[in-house]
Amino acid sequence: MKSDNLIRNLEHAPLPERKPSWLRMKPQGGVAYNRMKTLLRQAELNTVCESANCPNRGECFASGTATFLLMGDVCTRHCTFCNIPGGKVVPLDPEEPRRVAETVRHLGLKFAVVTSVNRDDLPDGGAAHFAATIREIRRLNPGCGVEVLIPDFMGEAADLETVLAEAPEVLNHNLETVPRLYPALRTNADYERSLALLARARRWAREQDPRIKVKTGIMLGVGETQDEVIALMEDAVEHGVQVLTIGQYLQPSHRHHPVRRYVPPEEFDALARAGRKLGLEWVEAGPMVRSSYHARQQSENLSP
């Protein structure tokens, strides 16, 4: 009963009026930042940094890092937290994997992060396109590490294995939020289906290639309770997750799901400690943390 009352209070609490001081975006611009934008435009590539209006893109672009967004900039789903629009998607571009790999080479990246929109219109959800991109990155950039942030492929094991067979250093799939909030935030997604994908990835890695790490991420401030977050972390550990990212949700526009609370930095620190106690190998937690933030450092510092 107490938990039910708390949830009702969260849902009906007045919305916060302004962002606190710890949520100030770092400035954008400068030679390196503009070079990155120019390269992306010339290669006709999308990044989740821009499409999802990531608050860290100034820092990441300036340091020569970007998260490439495959398969267009329109999604087949309409998640209420996401800035990427849903609607009519475009046919896959078979040259996109090569262009991503060439851009990785131009930037001199030692670690590349690749994600995509959801493509439920494709028979394999885009799994073969992910695999081709990993192969091209490796072909043109020997020694470059790769993290893939994949959709749920509607639970199809064969599609997941298509990606895993290319041995990305990190297989990431975001849970995004606690199960109670899925109907409000994650259109056509399913918490149990996502957990099953993560568990299947970890089993595959144990049996085929233990170097592959399994990762997920969530956002706070959408109406979850701390008990629900702890329960999610327990689920993640039980299903084989090794790396967890936790960040603050920022509402992209008035049409999106509202921010229910701005979570203070010390609460992120406490959750990181709790996650490590539960058995997570790495917890990256903070107001500005996003899925690919410090991805290279995470991969390099985890035990093989």
Q: Where are the beta strands (DSSP E) in the chain?
A: 46-47, 67-70, 111-116, 145-149, 170-172, 213-220, 243-248, 282-285
Q: What does the domain layout of the chain look like in residue ranges? A: 22-301
Q: How far apart are CA 158 and CA 164, in angstroms?
A: 10
Determine the pLDDT at residue 63: 53
| Mean pLDDT, residues 156-162 taken together | 98
Residue 27 predicted with pLDDT over 90:
no
Determine the pLDDT at residue 86: 87
| Mean pLDDT, residues 214-226 taken together | 97
Any idea of the CA torsion for 218, 179, 81, 196, to the nearest 10 degrees? 70
Determine the pLDDT at residue 51: 47
Instruction: Say whether 170 sits in a helix, a strand or coil.
Output: strand
Across 15-24, 241-250, 268-277, least confident range: 15-24
> Which one of 3.30.110.30, 3.20.20.70, 3.40.50.150, 3.40.50.300 gives the CATH number of domain 22-301?
3.20.20.70
**CA distance readout (Å), 41 to 50, 101, 127:** 12, 15, 25
Q: Compute the residue count for the chain.
A: 304
Name the pTM for this structure. 0.88
Determine the pLDDT at residue 32: 63
Determine the pLDDT at residue 23: 81
The tokens describing 146, both together, are: 């790769």
Q: How far apart are CA 50 and CA 44, in angstroms?
A: 13
Determine the pLDDT at residue 226: 96
Q: Which of 110-119, 238-247, 282-291 has the highest mean pLDDT?
A: 238-247
| Mean pLDDT, residues 196-208 taken together | 98
Determine the pLDDT at residue 178: 98
62 pLDDT band (50/70/90 cuts)?
A: low
Q: What are residue 145's DSSP bridge partners?
A: 111
pLDDT tens digit string along 34-57?
666 666 667 667 655 454 455 555
Residue 293 predicted with pLDDT over 90:
no
Determine the pLDDT at residue 79: 94
Residue 58 predicted with pLDDT over 60:
no
Determine the pLDDT at residue 71: 95
Q: Which of 48-57, 68-77, 124-133 has the highest mean pLDDT?
A: 124-133
Across 34-48, 52-66, 194-208, 219-233, least confident range: 52-66
